[in-house]
Chains A and B, each alone.
Chain A
Amino acid sequence: MFKELDPILHSQLRLAVMSLLITVKEADFTYIREKTNATAGNLSVQVQKLKEVGYIDVLKQFKDNYPQTTCKITPKGIEAFEAYVQALQAYLKT
Chain B
Amino acid sequence: MPEEKQLTEQESLQLITSMIQKVKGGYHENGTGPILWGTVVSIASFVTYLQREYLFDLPFDIWLIVMAAIIPQIIMVRKERRTRPHIKYEDEAINAVWIVYALTIFGLTAYQAIVPEVSTNLLKAEGWQMMKHVLDNSKPDEVLTPFTPSLYSIYILVYAFPTLVTGITKKFTPMLIGSGIAYTCFIISLYTASKYDFLLGAVTAITCWLIPGIILRRRYLAQKKANV
Segment of B3-11, B66-74, B112-120 in the binding face: B3-11
Q: Which of B4, B20, B24, B88 contacts A25 (CB 8 A)?
A: B88
* Category for how many chain A residues contact B: 20 to 34
Quick check: A12 and B23 within 8 Å, CB to CB?
A: no
Given contacts A38-B1, A64-B82, A88-B12, contact A26 B22 (CB under 8 A): no
Quick check: B3 and A15 within 8 Å, CB to CB?
A: no
Give 13 pairs: A residue, B residue, CB < 8 Å, sorted on A. A12-B15, A13-B1, A13-B2, A16-B15, A19-B16, A20-B20, A23-B24, A24-B23, A24-B86, A27-B86, A31-B86, A42-B3, A88-B9
* Category for how many chain B residues contact A: 20 to 34
Quick check: B6 and A11 within 8 Å, CB to CB?
A: yes
When distances are taken between beta carbons in the complex, the residues of chain A under 8 Å from B15 are 12, 15-16, 19
Given contacts A20-B22, A24-B86, contact A91 B7 (CB under 8 A): no
**Bound form: Cα–Cα A34–B85 in Å:** 10
Q: Say whether B87 faces chain A, with CB atoms less than 8 Å apart.
A: yes
Q: Say whether B19 faces chain A, with CB atoms less than 8 Å apart.
A: yes
When distances are taken between beta carbons in the complex, the residues of chain A under 8 Å from B92 are 25
Least CB separation from B21: chain A residue? A23
Given contacts A35-B22, A88-B12, A88-B13, contact A12 B7 (CB under 8 A): yes
**Bound form: Cα–Cα A77–B15 in Å:** 17
Q: Say whether A8 faces chain B, with CB atoms less than 8 Å apart.
A: no
Q: Say whether A36 faces chain B, with CB atoms less than 8 Å apart.
A: yes
C-beta contact mask, B80-106 vs A, less than 8 Å → 1, else 0? 001001111101100000000000000
Given contacts A20-B22, A85-B16, A91-B9, contact A12 B3 (CB under 8 A): yes
Least CB separation from B20: chain A residue? A23
Task: Report the minimal beta-carbon distance from A50 to chain B, rounded to whole angstroms.
Answer: 12
Quick check: A24 and B3 within 8 Å, CB to CB?
A: no
Task: Report the minimal beta-carbon distance from A30 to chain B, rounded to whole angstroms.
Answer: 6
C-beta contact mask, A1-35 vs B, less than 8 Å → 1, else 0? 00001000011111110011011111110110011
Q: Say whether A46 faces chain B, with CB atoms less than 8 Å apart.
A: yes
Quick check: A20 and B7 within 8 Å, CB to CB?
A: no
Least CB separation from A71: chain B residue? B86
Given contacts A24-B23, A25-B87, contact A10 B1 (CB under 8 A): no
Given contacts A10-B12, A23-B88, A25-B89, contact A35 B19 (CB under 8 A): yes
